[in-house]
Amino acid sequence: MQGKSRTELYKQFLDFITHDVQNERQKENRRLLNVFVWSFILPAVTSALLILLVKTGVLPRAARNYLDWAILIFPVSFALYLLSSEVLTQIPATIKRGGIATELSQATKEGFWREKVCDGMIRSIGSDPADWVWLIASFRIDLQKIHNRTRYLTALAGAVFYLLLQGIDLLGEEKNQVTWVKSPMGFVEVSQNDFSQFIGLGLFLVLFYLAGSQTFHSLSRYLNCAELVKTGLDQKKL
């Protein structure tokens, strides 16, 4: 590895992570696809289909009152499925063995994974502690950029989804039914559909943010491995 610049070493470091992620993230990729389908594709298709059926007279106009709930049911169903498959199924083992034992067994698996990745990093990159200091600092900067981009995309998705809901309401011929609620500032006009729309929007943004954060947390594991490599090299020098 002698003679290579730190930029080349950093590219080699990223190539190693890319190759390892491609081998171990098949399940996570399917999860991201499922989140997109259940939180965006299915609600959008269902909304368009219901509006088309109402416009053509197949469904009565009263069916438009259930449009927001039809959009909401898909992300809620997917969230309940994830809760039951990834959280509730662990409850029997946690009760039997105890919460600490369950967490430590998972930590043992993570330890084996970190050892494998650290050995691979040393073989691919080299063993110069000074280079590893620079690689760790550079990767930490890039991870922070990824995290900031996830927040920005979540805010952008929230604005787009809100405008989509407002556009669906405007497609209806009848005006939305509103009620007047008394507040300290006077009477405020409140639409009956606002509550369900904001629930759906909130669930969508939570799922969208968690999907984006999954990438950040997965890459953070490799940052931890790089720090372990540097720690080991420092100890060898002593």
pLDDT score at 137: 93
Cα–Cα dist 78/162, whole Å: 20
Each residue's pLDDT expressed in tens, for the chain with a length of 238 residues: 456 788 888 999 999 998 888 877 676 677 778 878 888 888 888 888 888 888 887 777 777 777 777 777 888 887 777 777 666 566 666 566 655 766 777 788 888 989 999 999 988 888 788 889 999 999 999 998 988 888 888 888 777 777 776 666 666 545 555 454 444 544 445 555 556 667 767 777 777 777 777 788 888 999 999 999 988 888 877 6
DSSP annotation of 52 reads H
pTM score, whole prediction: 0.56
Span 143-157, pLDDT tens digits? 989 888 888 888 887
Listed by start position, the domains of the chain span: 6-237
Q: What is the pLDDT of residues 73-116, one digit of tens each?
A: 888 887 777 777 666 566 666 566 655 766 777 788 888 989 99
- Amino acid code (one letter) for 99: G
CA distance 31 to 45: 20
Q: Which residue has tokens 């590219």? A: 11
Contacts with 165 (C-beta within 8 Å, 6 or more apart), sequence order: 68, 71, 197, 200, 201
At residue 170, the pLDDT reads 65
